[in-house]
């Protein structure tokens, strides 16, 4: 059951034709890797016309910015998140966070083209970030994101392993974080594994069934992603501090 406040936000986005894709914890729920979240996170098309539509949604939700930066196109284009709090009775106190640019994630036009479209039982339409793009977006420095990546990919594996497509097999080989499942996938699909070793060298350990070295390589891979994310946010955090002082 999707709580009413989230349905209200989603239905408003759809009614006003905002180009926005649900991501974050709520998207994880839809993909079968449940995560409790009080926020509704979107990646949006950062263009003036789409922001006009979004402003209508925010007015309907009685949503106001709750932190820096202010709701301006330039901040979205630079990679900042903008945070709002809804006061509408049907979405009371629901936080809505929007972004348009994320580290390691393609531009919005590509995200939109490969999005996942769902319809809830009550008829509410929902456009989600695709699962591969959601996994990429969650490769951050935050501790909570890495177990969620593991659960997302595992859930997708168990849902589709009986009739896997070539694209799904590539996705698992590139993103699985469970040594045993990665070894199993490499064993079942050796050709695909060999073709991807140059992109993900730790697959060589998976192909040999070396659980210990594979686990260590997965940890090193995670540590490298966390370090890249910290570096990416250093400049953005400095900008936020300047905005806070100015405010």
| pLDDT 10s digits, 114-166 | 999 998 888 888 999 999 999 999 999 999 999 999 999 999 999 999 999 99
Domain end (from 76, 110, 137): 137
pTM of the model: 0.93
DSSP H or E run through 52: helix 48-60
Residue 2 pLDDT:
57
Residues 100 and 15 in one domain: yes
Average pLDDT over residues 189-218: 98
Residues 99 and 218 in one domain: no
Residues 153 and 199 in one domain: yes
**pLDDT bucket at 232, cuts 50 / 70 / 90:** very high
Residues 52 and 150 in one domain: no
CATH of residue 8's domain is 3.30.460.40
Look at residue 247 and tell me if it is in a domain. Answer: no
Q: What span, in angstroms and rounded, lies between the C-alpha atoms of 86 and 98? A: 13
pLDDT higher than 70, residue 51: yes
Q: Which residues constitute the domain of residue 131?
A: 4-137
- What is the tally of structural domains in the chain? 2
Residues 19 and 103 in one domain: yes
Average pLDDT over residues 208-224: 98
Longest Cα pair distance anywhere in the chain, in angstroms? 58
101 touches 77 (CB < 8 A): yes
Using CB atoms within 10 Å of the CB of residue 29, give its burial: 0 to 12 exposed, 13 to 18 middle, 19+ buried: middle
83 touches 97 (CB < 8 A): yes
Preceding peptide of 6 cis, ω within 30°: no
Look at residue 244 and tell me if it is in a domain. Answer: no
């Amino acid at each position: 059951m999707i709580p009413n406040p989230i349905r209200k936000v989603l239905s408003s986005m759809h009614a006003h034709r905002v180009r926005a894709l649900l991501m974050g914890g709520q998207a994880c729920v839809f993909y079968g890797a449940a995560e409790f979240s009080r926020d509704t996170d979107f990646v949006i098309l950062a263009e003036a016309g789409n922001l006009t539509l979004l402003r209508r949604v925010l007015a309907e939700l009685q949503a106001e910015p709750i932190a820096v930066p202010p709701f301006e196109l330039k901040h979205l284009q630079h990679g900042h998140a903008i945070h709002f709090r809804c006061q509408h009775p049907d979405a009371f106190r629901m936080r809505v966070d929007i972004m348009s640019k994320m580290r390691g994630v393609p531009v919005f036009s590509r995200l939109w083209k490969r999005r996942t479209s769902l319809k809830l039982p009550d008829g509410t339409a929902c456009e989600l970030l695709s699962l591969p793009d959601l996994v990429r977006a969650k490769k951050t420095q935050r501790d909570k994101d890495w177990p969620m990546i593991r659960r997302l990919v595992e859930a997708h594996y168990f849902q589709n392993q009986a009739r896997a497509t070539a694209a799904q097999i590539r996705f698992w080989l590139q993103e699985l974080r469970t040594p045993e499942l990665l070894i199993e996938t490499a064993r079942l699909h050796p050709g695909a594994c060999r073709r991807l070793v140059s992109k993900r060298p730790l697959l060589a350990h998976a192909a040999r069934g070396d659980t210990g070295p594979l686990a260590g390589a997965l940890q090193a891979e995670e540590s490298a992603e966390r370090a890249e994310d910290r570096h990416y946010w250093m400049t953005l955090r400095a900008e936020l501090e300047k905005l806070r002082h100015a405010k």
